């Protein structure tokens, strides 16, 4: 290992097992993305898995987890798609099937009805 340049040593130390453990620490959806990519030809996809996990250094674990959730929802859990989601800040948007609860209408103790201000609308006048 001493003969390799430092950037190559980092690649060799981050094995598939190490990447799976790191992804599990980030979140369940990140772990699912890594597991999906390493499930088929793990050595071919190891570099993209390492790149996905390296995104956590720049954007944080929370945003990476949200981006992985969105990528899994749309069925495209690959590095390019996750990076595009993060660049467009789509990880901060709700997923299409999630309903955002509307804020409750606040009732005020001294509020009046609109009829008290504008009077009753007459049928003949417009």
33-43 pLDDT, tens digit each: 999 999 888 88
Residue 78: other Cβ atoms inside 10 A? 15
Q: Is residue 105 part of a domain?
A: no
Which pLDDT band, with edges at 50, 70 and 90, does 113 fall under? low
Q: How far apart are CA 50 and CA 100, in angstroms?
A: 34
pLDDT tens per residue, range 57-106:
999 999 999 999 999 999 999 999 999 999 999 999 988 876 555 555 55
User: How far apart, in whole angstroms, are the C-alpha atoms of residue 85 and residue 29?
Assistant: 15
DSSP state of 110: T
How far apart are the C-alpha atoms of 97 and 43, rounded to whole Å? 35
Q: pTM score, two decimals?
A: 0.69
Asked if residue 85 is part of any domain, the answer here is yes
Q: How many domains does the chain have?
A: 1
Structure confidence at residue 33 (pLDDT): 95
Instruction: Tell me, yes or no, whether 67 lies in a domain.
Output: yes
């Amino acid at each position: 290992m001493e003969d390799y340049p430092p950037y190559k040593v980092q690649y060799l130390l981050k094995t598939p097992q190490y990447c799976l453990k790191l992804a599990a620490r980030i979140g369940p959806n990140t772990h699912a993305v890594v597991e999906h990519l390493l499930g088929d030809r793990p050595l071919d996809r190891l570099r993209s898995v390492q790149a996905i996990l390296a995104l956590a250094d720049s954007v944080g674990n929370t945003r990476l987890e949200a981006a992985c959730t969105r990528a899994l929802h749309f069925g495209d859990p690959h590095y390019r798609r996750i990076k595009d989601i993060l660049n467009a800040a789509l990880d901060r948007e709700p997923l299409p099937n999630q309903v955002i609860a509307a804020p409750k209408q606040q009732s005020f103790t001294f509020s009046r009805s609109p009829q008290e201000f504008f009077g009753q609308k007459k049928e003949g006048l417009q």
